[in-house]
Amino acid sequence: MHRTLKNHRGPLESCIIHHYLSQGENGTLESWINIAPRMKDTKDLTLVNHNYHGINERYQAKTLLRLRRDAFSHHSLTSLSLCGFTLLGPRAFINCSNLKTLKLVNSFITQGTVLTNVLAACPSLEVIVLRVSYLTQGDVLKIENNNLKFLQVTYAYRIEKIEVYAACLDVLDIKFIECEEEDFILAAPNIRQFKRDYWVCSSHAHLSYNVSYLAQEKKNTWHALIVSESVFFHMSRLGSFSVSLDVTNPKEVEILKEVLLMWNAREMTELEILFKKNNAAGKEGACSTNGRAHEKLWEDAKPFPNAVFRVSVMRMYNFDGSNEEEVALASHFVMQKMVTKKMMIEISSSPPEKKIEVEAAVAKLMQLPKGNEDLSIECF
């Protein structure tokens, strides 16, 4: 491996290293890590510990991450994935302002403060993936990062308290977590705009997604991370989904479709849509294709996102009864039997004139031929 790395010609964009206990203890692993970013300008580094055999092992010395101070601090390294390690402290992460992405998969954390300190040592992180198998009882996980845009969390055991302070967070992906509502503190305005905290108190999988911001990005790292999980691993998502978007923006609608397709084999528990306005206005090419209005992806003849998608309950906020695209989307979900139990449209916060328009639109939805006869449509 050492010879292979040194003999590689030119930069090494991405590198995955699988290793065993002896290679971690005798300095071999550390020498490989030194070569990858420092000599080959590696940007994306993945370390896989073959001594990890599952979460039932809990803490074992053979999974310890033993590396020198600031082992991952080279300026070329921007993405780091660690699989099957036990972290005792932030030693290897000191001065890691270079890292933009950090994934801790099947990781043992001896204390909540250890993980808090590791994340604090990487202030430039935009993407954090935590699949942590063990945390001692009574600890607090605190994430404070104004650059963070994507956070995915999976805990196999109950956690006492989580605090997330992330002003730029656009995607919160809760795969599994056990935490009381009052013990999950979330200071993230783009996520807090949603009305439903599905993930608290119920170990409920939930994805919150600010599509409107993502559509403006040129490089959608976190979106690719979510979608690739379903495409490459053939994993159908569970739970519920909250999304904010402008349905007149074709790019945002296409992103919505890609995300909904991740529920390709299971019925979504709840879908919460927060409609936004005019994100496409004034942007060249945003609303036209070949000089004509963009094709509506939810036309009756073409099920959106596909013919098998189903959701039990659909909630819509900021719904405009005079907006043709929003009404068309709601109508499509009714007639294509996408919603199996209940469609709910919020009107309590609407001004009187808008409330009348929404109620009229809801009345028309009720008159549509329902793909599912048991479906109820109501305002709240």
Q: Which of 71, 69, 80 is nearest to 42 (CA)?
A: 80
- Residue 187: what pLDDT? 92
In this predicted model, what pLDDT tens digit does every residue of 157-169 receive, in sequence order?
777 888 999 999 9
The CA distance from 297 to 32, in Å, is 49
What number is the average pLDDT over the span 75-98?
Answer: 90
Q: pLDDT band for 220, please (50, 70, 90 cuts).
A: low
Residue 63 pLDDT greater than 90, yes or no? no
H or E element that contains 25: helix 21-25
Bigger pLDDT: 19 vs 315: 315
Is the peptide bond prior to 189 cis by the omega test (within 30 degrees of 0)?
Answer: no
Whole-prediction pTM value? Answer: 0.87
**pLDDT one-digit tens code per residue, 28-49:** 777 788 777 666 688 999 999 8
Report percent pLDDT > 70 for the chain: 77
**Contact of 121 with 142, CB cutoff 8 Å:** no
Window from 244-248, 299-303, 344-348 with minimum mean pLDDT: 299-303
Sign of the CA dihedral with 220 first, then 222, 223, and 228 last: positive
Q: What pLDDT does 80 receive?
A: 94
Residues 6 or more apart whose CB falls under 8 angstroms from that of 190 comprise: 168, 169, 170, 210, 213, 244
Residue 293 has pLDDT above 50, yes or no: no
Is residue 107 very low, low, confident or very high in pLDDT (cuts 50, 70, 90)?
Answer: confident
**Any idea where the domains of the chain sit in the sequence?**
1-192, 206-280+292-380
pLDDT at residue number 109 = 82
Residues 360-370 have pLDDT tens digits of: 999 999 999 88
Give per-residue pLDDT as tens, 117-148.
Answer: 999 999 999 999 998 876 566 678 889 999 99
Tally of CB atoms within 10 A around 374: 10
Q: Which amino acid does the sequence have at 133?
A: S
Per-residue model confidence (pLDDT) at position 266: 84
pLDDT at 287: 37
Mean pLDDT of the chain: 81
How high is the pLDDT of residue 365?
93
- Show the beta-strand stretches assigned E in 328-375: 339-345
Kindly report which listed range (57-71, 73-87, 206-220, 241-255) carries the lowest average pLDDT score: 57-71
Determine the pLDDT at residue 162.
87
Contact 153, 130 (CB under 8 A): yes
- Which comes out higher in pLDDT, residue 119 or 108? 119
Answer whether residue 290 shows pLDDT above 50: no
